[in-house]
Amino acid sequence: LKSPYHGGHLEVIVGPMFSGKSEELIRRVTRAVIARQRVSVFKPALDDRYHDTAVASHAGRTVNAVAVRDAADIRAHLSGEGTLLHAQGDTLPDVVGIDEVQFLDAAIIPLALELADAGVRVILAGLDQDFRAEPFGFMPELLARAESVEKLTAICTVCGAPATRSQRLIGGQPARFDDPVVLVGAEESYEARCRVHHELRG
Ligand code: ADP
């Protein structure tokens, strides 16, 4: 299964929550494994250490992954202490996948580019917009630098149209624009919504 890019490249999968980003990442990774390629999958850890875990889609499919705190953890995992990635040659995996990439740090950008330059197929999945429908952190730069961008839609929970946004609800009510991204103790949930039905409380 040869890459059309003749070597390393960067693929980005974006969309709102429930749009199937994890499913698509799992699909691509599974095919690479079937092709006997060496694959490493990472995702942000909720706690403070890195450990074995899995990427799971909302529909329940999973693939093994390593939970990491930041881009430096991924670099350490791939290269061992202080080693340059491009000097790794054959020891680098063929494919590196990362889910929920928006929750890592901006150092993921130079890392992804370095891996692609070193011949790795890098597949990154994450949110393109936050709950306010604003571009999510460093994601715009990843989109700009990728060879391939797939923008997925979910289904709007109100009208059934393609949903491009993540509706944040706090106690059942639309969140405010300036509500903190992490709200301790509040009962919050998210729904996929289209442009018309995405709401922010004034
Ligand atoms: P993401 O990684 O983008 O959050 P997942 O791959 O985890 O998405 O989950 C996608 C799955 O979520 C769909 O295949 C479907 O089974 C389920 N799902 C639940 N709610 C919705 C919705 N509103 N729109 C689309 N899919 C939904």
Under CATH, which number does the domain 9-152 receive?
A: 3.40.50.300
Residues 53-70, mean pLDDT to the nearest whole number: 88
CB 180 within 8 A of CB 188: no
Q: In the numeric block, which tokens belong to residue 173?
A: 């009510």
CB 17 within 8 A of CB 120: no
CB 57 within 8 A of CB 28: no
pLDDT-based confidence at residue 1 (cuts at 50, 70, 90): very low
Give pLDDT, residue 180: 80
How do residues 90-117 score in pLDDT, each as one tens digit?
Answer: 689 999 999 999 999 999 999 999 999 9
Q: Which CATH class is domain 153-202?
A: alpha beta
How do residues 29-39 score in pLDDT, each as one tens digit?
Answer: 999 999 999 99
Parse the chain into domains and list their residue ranges. Answer: 9-152, 153-202
> Other C-beta atoms within 10 Å of 159: how many?
11
Q: State the residue for tokens 């680098």.
A: 92
> Ligand 1 centroid to 72 CA: how many Å?
30
Sign of CA dihedral 99, 101, 104, 109: positive
Residue 46 has pLDDT above 90, yes or no: no
How do residues 136-193 score in pLDDT, each as one tens digit?
Answer: 999 999 999 999 999 999 999 999 999 999 999 998 999 999 988 767 777 899 999 9
Rounded to whole angstroms, how far apart are CA atoms 191 and 169? 8
ipTM: 0.98
Annotated catalytic residue, options 11, 23, 100, 147: 100
Q: What is the DSSP letter of 175?
A: P
The whole-chain average pLDDT of the chain stands at 90
List residues near ligand 1 (CB under 6 A): 15, 17-23, 57-59, 154-155, 157, 192
> Other C-beta atoms within 10 Å of 182: how many?
7
Residue 2 has pLDDT above 80, yes or no: no
Q: In the numeric block, which tokens belong to residue 81?
A: 């202490």
